[in-house]
Structure 1
């Protein structure tokens, strides 16, 4: 049976977010009285910082018992389905191992409750044995996280029991894997926040490429990976601003440092530069610019040293044009909206992705809302932005096959950024303008556009699924390059993909082209 783009997307983004609160088994599971048919002698597990630092440096070598919930809640095969469902709901757990005596004989997940109970119409009084997966695949206590990841990917499962001689001693879920990789990100940002100098930050940042590879290898959704990679960039920016103020003294007037481009959209990958600006309070006078120029230079130079290279287009706060009080920024946007020249469209495309990183966010919020209101009300500007969104086209030929470059440095390759990701980013920006959406992340814009009927439900689902496929293939390609000791790029030879991946990438490109045509004809926008 063919797998659709939406199904691929759903698998990539179907995991529930980790629940808040301390990461302990007791907090998640607790103990269950015998009256509800379950048994548990749960032990708590917490990571203190010294242990976490050591583990984060070798995640794939961790024993699965280090991240497993030990002595998990279990039930007998004869327990009624209704009681099993009640246990899972009340204890907020996504799976329930089934044991006969001390031996593991099955497992039931929240997905099983839908696919094997609700869909077939089983009675809630039937025994859970009728809905469980019998003899589930498991791992021994000696297995490591690398074994776990391979098993989860190969079997497409999110719950793996840990057994010793047939007896269950723990359970590991995809959420557990997500948490430990999130911990690695937190450790990196923690070390950045504690750095006393730029050289210290540079040293900490050596761990970023490895973090990206591990997140991708753990089959994390692309939106999760890019968000965590961007979290690191945000931490670098904030720490550099703090170090700058320590050296220069406090700012003479309030300001907010804002990022645009991929950092602004929270979509950073293995290939990125810096795009930023300073929005300063209107109480700024000409004499204050010397301070903000030095502040911007300190931060920009520090980011470059940490691997966020200078913007080739000079869209940085070091450029006086992008280091201005609110009233000047307002004039910029007013002029771009009133006279949408080619340059104005280009600048507006970048600056509509601004996101405040540090400082007085109120300086940005009012500016953003006013700009969206004026821009969306100007049909000529929206039309120009719509036309601008058509400039980057997916690499397809007239037969609708993937069309690599035919000559030059990237012969036989396709550009996954400008031919894949950017066309969707541009569509998302147009949808955001039309719907006055404050989201700047592309995936969030697409989902929000569907919710407010800017695009149809079917169109929204298709373009989100297409974006997920393209962005995932791009990230996986860059992760492979980093793991091989190569510099990551956006260029890929389609022959390096499997037939399955190539077919879905082609389908994704077709969806993007269709949505571009629709938005150009105003048929993909409902309002």
Structure 2
């Protein structure tokens, strides 16, 4: 009959990171766990108390609340809590109470710290700061799945060599895979057709199976670029099929390797800067998804990836402004084109619409407005052609409301600050992310400085902005720690934009307002707020770490979708994540919720 020790071992072997411990390590750890039975509604610990150890739920449910009493997490069996305090100063940074009759396992502080110090799996699991990512992309170490073409040309063994040649000519490729179903049987290249068919004067109706290379060498998607390079050099081949269990899933050619090495954001920027029209630019921006995959696979941080992708949109905008002036003639008065939204913050990903406006010199006359209306239409139409779709909310320079002289813009901001209605809050939130793209930047300098100072002095406006910043909340709930979307197209997913990134963006905007900080980029705002004392050092670092994890999870999700031939979006199914990834993503959402609660109660970041 199993003993309590056996039951405990069986339970822990189903919980990460204990399932990764060596059997002897786990056996040595078993006696340290202290069982505790608690009735529903009992406090486990209070904020600021010294924690006795790490808590692990064996059965039941626990609610975790922040310093202001707002619930930030609802936990069930196999969830741990309390580690954040243990790895800082040993004091609880939250409070916890049972929500049902609960059985806890308590791992004393000394045993927990020893476990983290001696066991890499435990350290990795409980350390919320992720390991540094490589800073530079390297062809030799990039995975084959990021290099390969995902729809290789195929034909059946019985198809003729003429049919194969025609297919290759029509698709402008130099090889064709011969398959039965989705199983790879052989490969034929241009060299095979010229050397085996033309040189030998074989009939054009010869089956392609007669000239193909049967059972060609292949690689798995998990192979790396150096494997491809070495195979090509050793065997003197230029085409390597990619297979999983014999099933053809892709093809890597020498051209793919060259393109991978050559495709950088700088290359795309250069091509766009010299494009003759929007059509030519669209062919370049169509490669942005592949660039995103490449940048993510290369280990670049999220703020680097989004900055490089935004640079392409900036260049496209400036090129369209130049083309517009070539078509319409020089502008009658100075003007400034600005971006807001994700482009304004330099945070564009694989999913972006356009948000922009025009500030005109106060010398502009009514007659001049027709010119700028044409200029705005030319640029916005061009951006839409390049994949930056029209803003659903009409926040574009083509809307006469957002194409006005500087004096009108001053009036807009004065009105929003003086009377912070719901619409004013929304518009101010968007416009506080403005960033000059092309034109006379002097039109914005005084406007930004004066507006920040005036807004920061108006406590009612700041309070409304704080309220607006709390409307988007992290998706914390009962189901595996996440509140997923319950119905519709995106059922059982979490929205990594509106419930993940946007809450941090909103917090950063308020901190910038409170500190009168000119930065528009969210991460730059958080860093500046911490330096200026608007955020405490520890609270600011927690929020930066949480934001990094959420933003990188979003980019990795989009990269996965692109690699599998899909369109990138922001809807992540938690089920695709490992227990480790889910746990840390939940921790990141908890941090954001805590900072929202602190802001809502008029306090700084938790220190």
TM-score (norm 2): 0.59
Query: Please, which of 285, 289, 294 is the counterpart of residue 365 of structure 2?
Result: 285
Q: Which residue of 2 aligns with 1:205?
A: 285
Separation in 2 of the partners of 1:438 and 1:224? 20
Query: Please, which of 509, 513, 522 is the counterpart of residue 429 of structure 1?
Result: 509
Q: Which residue of 2 aligns with 1:444?
A: 524
Q: CA offsets, 1:366-423, max 9 Å, x none?
A: 1100100000111100000001000000111269921211222221111000110000
Separation in 1 of the partners of 2:126 and 2:330? 51
- What's the CA shift for 1:8? 3.6
Q: Which residue of 2 aligns with 1:387?
A: 467
Q: Does 1:353 align with 2:474?
A: no
CA contact (8 A) 1:5 1:466 kept: no
CA contact (8 A) 2:360 2:405 kept: yes
Q: CA offsets, 1:252-280, max 9 Å, x none?
A: 00011000000000000011100000011
User: Secondary structure at the residue paired with 1:2?
Assistant: helix
Q: Which residue of 2 aligns with 1:475?
A: 555
Q: Which residue of 1 aligns with 2:486?
A: 406
Cα pair distance change 1:445/1:188, threshold 3 Å? same
Q: Does 1:257 align with 2:337?
A: yes
* Greater percentage in strand: 2
Q: Which residue of 1 aligns with 2:252?
A: none
Cα pair distance change 1:525/1:275, threshold 3 Å? same
Separation in 1 of the partners of 2:410 and 2:125? 44
Q: Which residue of 2 aligns with 1:305?
A: 385
CA contact (8 A) 1:5 1:508 kept: no
User: Secondary structure at the residue paired with 1:286?
Assistant: coil
Query: Please, which of 116, 124, 137 is the counterpart of residue 3 of structure 1?
Result: 124
Cα pair distance change 1:502/1:416, threshold 3 Å? same
CA contact (8 A) 2:595 2:605 kept: no
Residue correspondences, number: 379
Separation in 1 of the partners of 2:378 and 2:513? 34
Cα pair distance change 1:190/1:399, threshold 3 Å? closer
CA contact (8 A) 2:277 2:323 kept: yes
Q: Does 1:221 align with 2:342?
A: no
Separation in 2 of the partners of 1:182 and 1:457? 41
CA contact (8 A) 2:146 2:297 kept: no
Q: CA offsets, 1:51-70, max 9 Å, x none?
A: xxxxxxx9959xxxxxxxxx
- What's the CA shift for 1:439? 0.3
Q: CA offsets, 1:106-163, max 9 Å, x none?
A: xxxxxxxxxxxxxxxxxxxxxxxxxxxxxxxxxxxxx9xx966799xxxxxxxxxxxx
Cα pair distance change 1:149/1:322, threshold 3 Å? farther
Cα pair distance change 1:329/1:150, threshold 3 Å? farther
Separation in 1 of the partners of 2:355 and 2:262? 25
Unaligned runs of 5+ in 1: 19-57, 62-142, 152-179
Q: CA offsets, 1:59-108, max 9 Å, x none?
A: 959xxxxxxxxxxxxxxxxxxxxxxxxxxxxxxxxxxxxxxxxxxxxxxx
- What's the CA shift for 1:3? 3.5
- What's the CA shift for 1:524? 1.8
Separation in 2 of the partners of 1:197 and 1:482? 27
Q: Does 1:519 align with 2:582?
A: no
User: Secondary structure at the residue paired with 1:368?
Assistant: helix
Query: Please, which of 456, 460, 463 is the counterpart of residue 536 of structure 2?
Result: 456
Cα pair distance change 1:219/1:5, threshold 3 Å? farther
Query: Please, which of 352, 365, 373 is the counterpart of residue 445 of structure 2?
Result: 365
Separation in 2 of the partners of 1:337 and 1:218? 44
Separation in 2 of the partners of 1:522 and 1:438? 22
Q: Which residue of 2 aligns with 1:326?
A: 406
When the two chains are superposed, the root-mean-square deviation of aligned CA atoms in Å is 2.8
Between 439-448 and 396-405, report the one with greater CA deviation.
396-405
Cα pair distance change 1:182/1:263, threshold 3 Å? farther
Rg larger in structure = 2
User: Secondary structure at the residue paired with 1:356?
Assistant: strand
Q: Does 1:417 align with 2:417?
A: no
User: Secondary structure at the residue paired with 2:349?
Assistant: coil
CA contact (8 A) 1:6 1:465 kept: no
